[in-house]
Structure 1
């Protein structure tokens, strides 16, 4: 799935879609944690899920400061697509769940990168740091998953 988050005409609408994407990520991490067998992966995914929850809280506070109502749930279609990748991968094993989650994290990295470029559209001084920190979190998530997949590849578990 390629995300359109960050391409919305209005900055506030892009923030709302970013929150929905973070809700999608939380739901997908919950599912991945349930399906994974490797405890290290589960622990790391709990951490990443927590980061996404923090993004939701901070972005929702920004909307509240701007008299806007924040979404309270994921976009149903995107959520279904993200979870379907993980659900399908779970029948094969942990490495395929990692691959599915990498694809999902690539979308969140793209979304936060776009929003980081747009942040100057807001007069709220706090939002730049929230977006920049979120982008760093997303890059860290993506890099961790990529590194774990590389380890599996070098160990012969991933072809």
Structure 2
């Protein structure tokens, strides 16, 4: 399912939706770590989860500064992101990583859009670009590793 995050008309809605997206991603990473069998994969995925935790902290700071709402839980999409991982776990690590790659497709798209949002100030744009680079790195690793399993 393609994300709509990044298409918001106002900056505060964008930040709120990015917080939701990060919370959903963190839940999917928790699920992935618990389902993977390869210890080296688990370790790498845990490092990627740390990036998402850092993104969430920055987004909460931006929300505080701008007056945006920073939700304390994920949204309904969390069931989709974690459910894909749970179903894929029936087919092994490669399938789990492919499911996570599709989740990363959404975060890449969201940060691509956010980095060009008209209302983003230079500080938030710089953060969005850094987060985008992180998400592209995550997605590329998921793709490469899933194909090699």
Secondary structure class of the residue paired with 2:67: coil
**8 Å Cα contact 2:35-2:89 kept in structure 1:** yes
- C-alpha offsets along residues 96-130 of structure 1, whole Å, 9 cap, x if unaligned? 10110011001110111011111x413x4321111
Report how many residues are paired: 149
Q: Distance in 2 between matches of 1:56 and 1:83?
A: 18
Deviation at 1:151, TM superposition (A): 2.1
The residue aligned with 2:129 is 132
Q: TM-score, normalised by structure 2?
A: 0.95
Deviation at 1:149, TM superposition (A): 2.2
Q: TM-score, normalised by structure 1?
A: 0.89
- C-alpha offsets along residues 69-111 of structure 1, whole Å, 9 cap, x if unaligned? 3111111x20001111000011111111011001100111011
Deviation at 1:11, TM superposition (A): 1.8
Q: Which stretch of the first structure deviates more once superposed, 49-58 or 59-68?
A: 59-68
The residue aligned with 1:142 is 139
Deviation at 1:148, TM superposition (A): 0.8
The residue aligned with 1:60 is 60
Q: Distance in 2 between matches of 1:108 and 1:38?
A: 24
Matched ranges for 1:20-39 at <5 A:
20-39=20-39
Runs (5+) with no aligned partner, structure 1: 153-159
Q: Are 2:30 and 1:18 aligned?
A: no
Question: What is the aligned-residue RMSD (CA, Å)?
Answer: 1.1
Deviation at 1:142, TM superposition (A): 0.4
The residue aligned with 1:155 is none
Q: Distance in 1 between matches of 2:11 and 2:66?
A: 12
The residue aligned with 2:3 is 3
Q: Distance in 2 between matches of 1:107 and 1:68?
A: 22
